[in-house]
Structure 1
């Protein structure tokens, strides 16, 4: 936009303004930077002209177009911090209709408070861009009543005829503000009780979601089930709400201690998450997106509330996955999500991002609830049959997790090892049986269990480790280090004279000595605490024979 066009906008000539705005919107719908506006202070002049037009009641017909132009301009981060001011932020909040819902009684809500659709949505989009791109804008928002307005409108969506559109961008704005402004997040959580209203919104969407058995079957469910089917717009709104809830609960993730108010919130939240984990959506991609956001929220949920993911099923219900009278569909959904994440994790660079949340959730689930652990055990570590291949070879869930036991990403390695260790009831022998001692050695060394035994947690006394006939037959031939049987090998010393054997042995000794002296390896033994202890010389191992792990 050139200087002449900006002057026309500043003049307020309606026909000229309309023509210029139409051309600008058409030409720049997919443009994200405007370097030409940096000349002659054109950027400031253009923003000022547009806000001046928005404040002119006689030009109400072009207000939506002005807001659309501001929405496009606000994509560009350049000079935004220097341009934006509190007055403009307040104008956008007002146009978004957020001030209308303050101090409005739930019982007597006049129709006049409903904002115009086009103006409200464009203003919200503009606020989203500014909040995302400008620290100054976020600070200005923190000094307004935007948080109060957004939370107040959470109670009023049923009165807005175009609620899906406005709700989506309300949630996007709330997510950005709670993610990037800790003071706004704290206010929404503590003062405004935002979690309560967000959970109510989720419940309303679930209630409105259609229950269509045919659609559910087409989306991967069982024909005749009663799972809700979320439309695309409902799925998008729910994902944004879950992102906000993640921001609001994130600070609790390291502490399982909750007060009465937080406990009440989690007791309301868990049934909602349980329902959403079993919900159907239109595409597999949207399903993974939904489950990803649910998992992120569950990371921050204290372990004591995890049993609520698997309620007892009522008479007449026919859940697809059941264990010990519990509906295990939520846990099965988490397993399916883990399998998906393992499939798309192609290298170590994205392991943390893709796997850390779901592994954390499964760890908490297995440790917090006996039924969860047993169900996960039968899905992840079923009774062994074919032990001819190492545990890390193959495509089963156990195989894929065993491969991660040697990943260089220590956070993932530790989470996987702890998960498998919990499923093995923290028994060293059982862990070695399913993973091989080589894969498990690092984790056992960290826990001081290289010499065998079990962890400090006491589990149920039932064994639940019945061996198959195939495993019992192969057991005498299993090498516990690699966790599988090995084919008979030719004796390398066969046909050698004693002198040749001694020569080869000395070569091996010299190689070991060279590695030790150059620091490539350091000899160690398992100490009384079950952890490796370094030795000054390999000959010390003759004085203290190493403890062998129980297999």
Structure 2
């Protein structure tokens, strides 16, 4: 313990311990642990010192991973230490330290989306085994809720180091048809056990609630959303982004995981829910939509990437689930405000997700029918003749009166000039910066409102000319 404290304060001591080959000795001691020695105190201190040395010295980290098979040896230790179904407080702390060491070593190996041939010899099997052990840890019971929460957070961080084809190991074996119903249960989905994914999604729900509460700068609000017996370790952003990232990679890698996460995060809305903004409410969808427009671009971009992955990189479906206003920031950052993804969009999904016509029919056909039917029901319930879906806000809205009804042409022209002057004043004071969509799909600032109107007129005029030409040729053919 003293060496750990000194190593944190003195960088020279870390290098001295590495020169004395202390990391290799600690790895040998860890590999030789037995079930009886795991109950002692010193293994936890060994792992903490090993984590410190590996984290602060890249040379030691590379030596442990490449030359001493550190990931394989510690994975065997993880299998031994995770045997009990009910984990004591000491065992939870030990497993947390062990997972942290594994993350430090594995972070330099192939992660999600990397090719399997980038792994060292034999590591592919080790990572598949590691994914199965992480599933066991996610489902293990702990006597302390606080330690259970921290261990889950460490496991989620380690998920980011798994190769793309390892995420299916988070699902249990095929569930018998008699045990699986058409309606998904809490543990079965499409014939697979998704209990471990449920644990990660429940952690995401807690982290989203903490992130929203932390924005209020009210400690009482943060304490109110914390589960009983759980204390927040680290900042709300630090706890949220790894969970979003892990789910993003899992959804890209596994069709079953993606479909189940969409079932939980973006369920089809009822007619009453369609009348509300997507960000209103306390559901995971609402909290996820609120994160999309958060000033912290790291959290907003990762939340939007997850929504994008859930919708199989379809901008139209992502916008329908969240509203164009909430999703516009992600599109602007990625250069997708123009027509379709840019050439630099290299998102890769699992091979069995391509050509998934059944999933697309469910999204585009049934979803649109549900919106139309919901609009009619909502219109009757609210006494309105017809409600229309507004893609910008992401909800159904009643018809609004025309603000220019009854105005003369002179009055309309006067209002246009008044609005232009207001925009010019806002731009001059730096409150807003008018922009148009450039050819690269990103906003391009304009220097004056007149230029903005000219650019918009050019774009809309070109569309009218194309449409007019089509109509003329149709008439001439007739």
CA distance in 2, matches of 1:132, 1:378: 44
Question: Are the counterparts in 1 of residues 210 and 236 from structure 2 also a CA contact under 8 Å?
Answer: no
1:472-491 correspondence runs (5 A): 472-475=372-375, 477-489=388-400, 491=402
Cα distance, 1:378 vs structure 2 = 0.6
Counterpart of 1:242 in structure 2 is 99
CA distance in 2, matches of 1:449, 1:148: 49
Cα distance, 1:358 vs structure 2 = 0.8
1:70-219 correspondence runs (5 A): 125-158=1-34, 163-207=39-83, 209=84
Counterpart of 1:464 in structure 2 is 362
1:428-447 correspondence runs (5 A): 428-447=315-334
2:307 to 392, 410, 420: 420
Listed as ranges, the gaps of 5+ residues in structure 1 are 1-124, 210-227
Deviation digits for residues 401-456 of structure 1, max 9, x if unmatched? 11111112222211111110111122222111111111112222344433454677
CA distance in 1, matches of 2:102, 2:411: 71
CA distance in 2, matches of 1:244, 1:544: 56
The answer to which structure, 1 or 2, has the higher relative contact order (CA under 8 A, 6+ apart) is 2
Counterpart of 2:172 in structure 1 is 311
Question: Are the counterparts in 1 of residues 75 and 130 from structure 2 also a CA contact under 8 Å?
Answer: yes
Deviation digits for residues 85-136 of structure 1, max 9, x if unmatched? xxxxxxxxxxxxxxxxxxxxxxxxxxxxxxxxxxxxxxxx222222222223
2:238 is the counterpart of 1:353: yes
1:330 to 196, 217, 238: 196
Cα distance, 1:151 vs structure 2 = 1.8
2:123 to 237, 262, 269: 262
User: What secondary structure is seen at the aligned counterpart in 2 of 1:478?
Assistant: strand
2:238 is the counterpart of 1:368: no
Q: CA RMSD in A?
A: 3.0
- How many pairs are equivalent? 405
Question: Are the counterparts in 1 of residues 50 and 101 from structure 2 also a CA contact under 8 Å?
Answer: yes
Structure 2 vs 1, CA of residues 546 and 471 (structure 1 numbering), >3 Å: closer, same or farther? farther
User: What secondary structure is seen at the aligned counterpart in 2 of 1:251?
Assistant: coil
Tell me the TM-score normalized by structure 2. 0.76
Cα distance, 1:286 vs structure 2 = 1.5
Listed as ranges, the gaps of 5+ residues in structure 2 are 218-234, 349-353, 376-386, 464-478
Question: Are the counterparts in 2 of residues 526 and 546 from structure 1 also a CA contact under 8 Å?
Answer: no
2:200 is the counterpart of 1:344: no
Question: Are the counterparts in 1 of residues 214 and 236 from structure 2 also a CA contact under 8 Å?
Answer: yes
CA distance in 2, matches of 1:405, 1:131: 40
CA distance in 2, matches of 1:494, 1:149: 83
Question: Are the counterparts in 1 of residues 78 and 95 from structure 2 also a CA contact under 8 Å?
Answer: yes
Deviation digits for residues 201-235 of structure 1, max 9, x if unmatched? 2111222x1xxxxxxxxxxxxxxxxxx22111111
CA distance in 2, matches of 1:546, 1:231: 70
User: What secondary structure is seen at the aligned counterpart in 2 of 1:142?
Assistant: helix
2:117 is the counterpart of 1:251: no
Counterpart of 2:424 in structure 1 is 513
Counterpart of 1:379 in structure 2 is 264
User: What secondary structure is seen at the aligned counterpart in 2 of 1:358?
Assistant: helix
Counterpart of 2:222 in structure 1 is none
Structure 2 vs 1, CA of residues 297 and 516 (structure 1 numbering), >3 Å: closer, same or farther? same
2:130 is the counterpart of 1:278: no
Question: Are the counterparts in 2 of residues 384 and 467 from structure 1 also a CA contact under 8 Å?
Answer: no
Cα distance, 1:190 vs structure 2 = 2.5
Cα distance, 1:490 vs structure 2 = 5.3
Tell me the TM-score normalized by structure 1. 0.67
CA distance in 2, matches of 1:464, 1:395: 25
Counterpart of 2:455 in structure 1 is 540
Cα distance, 1:369 vs structure 2 = 0.9
1:29-108 correspondence runs (5 A): none
Question: Are the counterparts in 1 of residues 324 and 391 from structure 2 also a CA contact under 8 Å?
Answer: yes
Structure 2 vs 1, CA of residues 373 and 543 (structure 1 numbering), >3 Å: closer, same or farther? same
Counterpart of 2:471 in structure 1 is none
CA distance in 1, matches of 2:325, 2:290: 11
Structure 2 vs 1, CA of residues 321 and 452 (structure 1 numbering), >3 Å: closer, same or farther? farther
Structure 2 vs 1, CA of residues 183 and 546 (structure 1 numbering), >3 Å: closer, same or farther? farther
Larger Rg, first or second structure (1 or 2): 1
Structure 2 vs 1, CA of residues 317 and 464 (structure 1 numbering), >3 Å: closer, same or farther? closer
